[in-house]
Amino acid sequence: MSRIFFILLFLIFGKINATHPNDVLGTWMSVDNSVKVKVYKVNNQFRARIIWFNHLLSESKKPMHLSLDIHNPNPNLRNRKILGMEILDGLRYDVQKKEWVDGKIYDASSGRYWNSSAKLLQNGILKVRGFWKAEWIGKSISFRKVT
């Protein structure tokens, strides 16, 4: 009887802590309410696009629909709008780590691309990390899923 009880506990808690590759799909708001992104999948790679941001926190303070990618190192892209811009691509799910890895994330405030990874925490928070060469040299931003 106790063996069955432990097997049931394992199955229940194993399901709760399990992460599925598509758990990252959907709309996510940063916990500081500065940016909202839509994560979607193309082939086996995950991407994200900006669907809202707090323009009052931006350098220019221009309304969202007028804010441009002025820091982009490519002069031909400096007139593209930040709203709707794809900022993450190439992210793939690593089954062993139960994380999304090997992505590239774009920071419009600096015009830089960073390596990126993401991890879904047990509390439902998605922790996205942008880093340079090594994961400990970078910055993280946390998101909560919204409807």
Within a domain: 74: no
Average pLDDT over residues 73-92: 97
Tell whether the model's pLDDT for residue 1 goes beyond 60: no
pLDDT above 90 covers what percent of the chain?
74
Backbone angles phi, psi at 40, to 5 degrees: -140, 175
Within a domain: 26: yes
CA distance 62 to 28: 23
CA distance 100 to 109: 24
Tell whether the model's pLDDT for residue 136 goes beyond 90: no
Q: How many domains does the chain have?
A: 1
Beta bridge partner(s), residue 53: 35
Spatial CB neighbours of 103, under 8 Å, sequence gap ≥ 6: 46, 88, 89, 90, 91, 92, 115, 116, 117, 118
Q: Using a cut of 0.75, tell me whether the model's pTM lies above it.
A: yes
CATH for 114: 2.40.128.520
Within a domain: 73: no
Within a domain: 46: yes
Domain that holds residue 39: 2-50+83-146
Tell whether the model's pLDDT for residue 15 goes beyond 80: no
Within a domain: 66: no
The pair of structure tokens assigned to 94 is 């690593």
Within a domain: 59: no
